[in-house]
Structure 1
């Protein structure tokens, strides 16, 4: 990491702490029940996303490019919940608030990379919907497995690169005063603000990360739905417009669940207490991964039918074993 830290090369006095202290959720009565609630959210999220991934793997009819993006969304949701929730519960419910410097940066990298991919997955699904509605006759030619895999690979590379730079720039900071992180995990903003030397590069990459995670995806998605609405307006019959729009309802639900809470929290963040803001932000991180598989199971007919088929086959196999 010396590339990010010229102070190490120049032998400048540099203070790197042995550990940080995560201090979120301070002074909230009965907060332990909230962590029990988070545990149940995690269990539902784990089961739901595992179910969607299992269905997509076992049912060979669900191998279209769209379901590659759905599988990646379920995988990312599963990994992000697993990276965040157990650690939050361990930190606050069991009072393990100390985290080593290197573990904190590693934790930060994985959490932010996976949170970035949650947003990028919605962009990948937007690309699929735009192509399906704007170019219905050429959809299967344009949106191939190779195309969708390339889109997803590009997003993974983009997320890893930006977050790696953001985390790497933390290593150039000297922490000569407080080591208390005022958040519920090793959050990038609260960590770099503890630095005693110039944090301008860290602030700049934070802005780039926000644009990368929220600005670009939201702009693309809004633009894509403007194009979809324009294309739907050209369909002569109301039934035709409704049928085409119905294919977007699942994706629109995912967008609302992911983006609306984040936007609301950031808009009113300065008007609510720090603890209320931390609870709100923690919910925006864990609730979408729980709801995404539920939405796709109930609003995607192919996944719903495939899940019923698999459950029916499993039930019959159990009956056969007992007999």
Structure 2
């Protein structure tokens, strides 16, 4: 018997990473640990950049914004997953699913745009060092971040409104640990052609555009570094880009990996497992990447720790 079609569906079922009951406690502990590490690590980066006046520069302003976005990005999906495991429930309300989808796309877009802005900042610093303070003035930095927010909000809003026009069966099971837009759209029982076209167009434009900007910036950076005569100068110039380049590589490699795996396999659980890399692991590793090889961040963290010890 066909399930009844209902445009006023009240809830979805999130199947998570595994339906094996024995694995649920292990999954809960792993994801809770990763979530706490992500929040604490990124909060430390934010506190360090605020407390140390030496870090009041465009590069660390963008980094603190990226850390804030990473906290929000992970908080959009993981807490709901942990609650569902703890309560042994797979339910997410229709409104909750649309809200989660909106904020997930919002913070994904912000991650993408902020990484592009940070690449532009490194490009100006290395290729136009004499004009750096003029080009990357405080007003310009705020405008770049504001533009990233506005564009991400608009794109997320369009996607969410497009999903609201769809109708679903009464029992909708999502083989994921959060409401991923592609899966939700494919589960609709109404025509999804326009939705899919908007998703593909936005993916190409907002995924390919920033990536092209990043690659262009680094092609100019590599060209400028190659013209530096001293090995020490080359090393110093490259070291200012290493952390950002590592984060960019991690973000795009994991995102592209998920896209390729979804195209190559029909297993939704495999796609959900692969998604963990860029939704949870990448935001968790970002603070470590930026702090381990960054003397300024290390110094600021030590000063913050000393101040806390005194108090």
- Alignment partner, residue 218 of structure 1: 211
Q: How many residues align?
A: 305
CA contact (8 A) 2:106 2:152 kept: yes
Q: 1:159 to 1:262 in 2, by over 3 A?
A: same
Question: How big is the shift at 1:240?
Answer: 2.1
Q: Based on CA coordinates, which of the two structures has the bigger radius of gyration?
A: 1
SS of corresponding position for 1:30: helix
Q: 1:243 to 1:60 in 2, by over 3 A?
A: closer
Question: How big is the shift at 1:213?
Answer: 4.4
- Alignment partner, residue 313 of structure 1: 307
Per-residue CA deviation, residues 117-157 of structure 1 (Å, 9 max, x unaligned), is 11211111101100001101111111111111111111111
In the alignment, does 2:39 pair up with 1:46?
A: yes
Q: 1:17 aligns with which of 5, 9, 16?
A: 9
Question: How big is the shift at 1:236?
Answer: 2.3
In the alignment, does 2:223 pair up with 1:237?
A: no
SS of corresponding position for 1:61: helix
TM-score by length of 2: 0.92
CA contact (8 A) 2:126 2:237 kept: yes
Between stretches 61-70 and 272-281, larger displacement belongs to 272-281
Q: 1:83 aligns with which of 51, 57, 76?
A: 76
Q: 1:286 aligns with which of 267, 280, 287?
A: 280
TM-score by length of 1: 0.88
Between stretches 31-40 and 267-276, larger displacement belongs to 267-276
Structure-1 separation of matches of 2:161 and 2:25: 34
Over the residues paired in the alignment, what is the CA RMSD in angstroms? 1.9
> Which structure 1 residue ranges, 5 or more long, are not aligned?
1-12, 319-323
In the alignment, does 2:61 pair up with 1:68?
A: yes
- Alignment partner, residue 156 of structure 1: 149
- Alignment partner, residue 173 of structure 1: 166
CA contact (8 A) 1:25 1:31 kept: no
- Alignment partner, residue 290 of structure 2: 296
Q: 1:272 to 1:101 in 2, by over 3 A?
A: closer
